[in-house]
Amino acid sequence: MPDAAALTVEGTSADLTSRAAAKRAGSILPLGVHGLVYAVGGKRLVNIDRLTLQPGAPTVILGPNGAGKSLLLRLMHGLIEPAQGTVLFNGQPMSPAIRRRQAMVFQRPVVLRRSVRANIDYALAAHRLRGTKRHRRLDELLEMGGLSAMAHQPARSLSGGEQQRLALVRAVAAAPELLFLDEPTSSLDPGATQRIEALVRRFAQDGMKIVMVTHDLGQARRLADEVVFMHRGRIAEQTPAAAFFDEPASQAARDFVAGGLLV
C-alpha cells in the first residue's frame, strides 16, 4: 500500500532555506545505481549497469511503454527489491533516515478516506510536526496546492487534478530532498496538467531534486534539465535535455523523438 511512501512538499521560504542548509552537510545525493537487475519469471525487466543522478535541476526518464521506467523509479525509492545490484544514496544504502528524506507521487493519486485538510495533517503528524508550526504549515500547503477552499471536503470527492495536487503537496510536507514522480499528469486535462507542472517547477526552484517519469515529450521539453532514456530495461542514454531533443545519440531515442514505434 503506497500511502506511507507517498506521504513525503515544502513550507515557507525560510523553512526551506534552513532545511536546505542542513541537508547540504549530509546530502543523500548523488543517487547511484550499480548492476541493478529486476526480473519476473526469469525475464529481466530492468538491467542497468550504472546510473548516477546528481543534485540540481529535474531529471526526466523517458522511453516507450514497457521500457522499465516506473520499475526503475520504484527500485530507487525502495518500494521493490532488486534481484541483483544496489541503489546508493551518497554512497549509503537505504535506511529509515534516507527514506524520510525522499518521497514519491504515483500516476493515480493516493488519498486517504478523510478530508483534504486531514490528509495533509496525517503527513505532518507522521513527521512529528506539532502545535502552531503544524497548523501554519497545513495552511501553507493548502494554499500552495490551490486547495484552501476545499479543505474540509472529503478528499475522494475532488477531481483527478485536485487529488493529484493534494498528493503532491502532501508528499512534500516534510520538504524531502528527493521527489520521485511517476507520470503524475498522464490522465489529466491540459489545465490540470499546467497546475501540476507549476508545482513541480516550484519544488525544483526551491532546491528539491525531481526525478520524473513521463511519456509526454512536450512535458519533458518543458520540465527536464536532463533526460535518461530507457529502452528494453536498459539506459540507452543519459544527456542534457537540450542535446537529447536536438540530436539523440542512440537510434532508439532518435526513433522515439521522431514518433516512431519501438519494439
Model confidence pLDDT, tens digit, residues 6-23: 333 333 333 444 444 444
Average pLDDT score over the chain: 90
pLDDT at 94 over 50: yes
Q: CB–CB of 142/151 below 8 Å?
A: yes
Radius of gyration of the chain (CA): 18
Q: CB–CB of 152/115 below 8 Å?
A: yes
- Model confidence, pTM: 0.89
Domain ranges in the chain?
3-257
User: Average of pLDDT values for 133-151?
Assistant: 96
Residue with cell 472529503: 154
pLDDT at 237 over 50: yes
Secondary structure of 85-135 in the HEC alphabet? EEEEECCECCCHHHHCCEEEECCCCCCCCCEHHHHHHHHHHHCCCCHHHHH
List of E strands, the chain: 31-40, 43-53, 59-62, 84-89, 102-105, 178-182, 209-213, 226-231, 234-240
pLDDT tier for residue 25 given thresholds of 50, 70 and 90:
low
- Give the per-residue pLDDT at 137: 94
- Give the per-residue pLDDT at 12: 39
Q: What is the DSSP letter of 157?
A: G
pLDDT tier for residue 178 given thresholds of 50, 70 and 90:
very high
Model confidence pLDDT, tens digit, residues 187-230: 899 999 999 999 999 999 999 999 999 989 999 999 999 999 99
3-257 CATH fold: Rossmann fold (3.40.50)
Model confidence pLDDT, tens digit, residues 151-166: 999 999 999 999 999 9
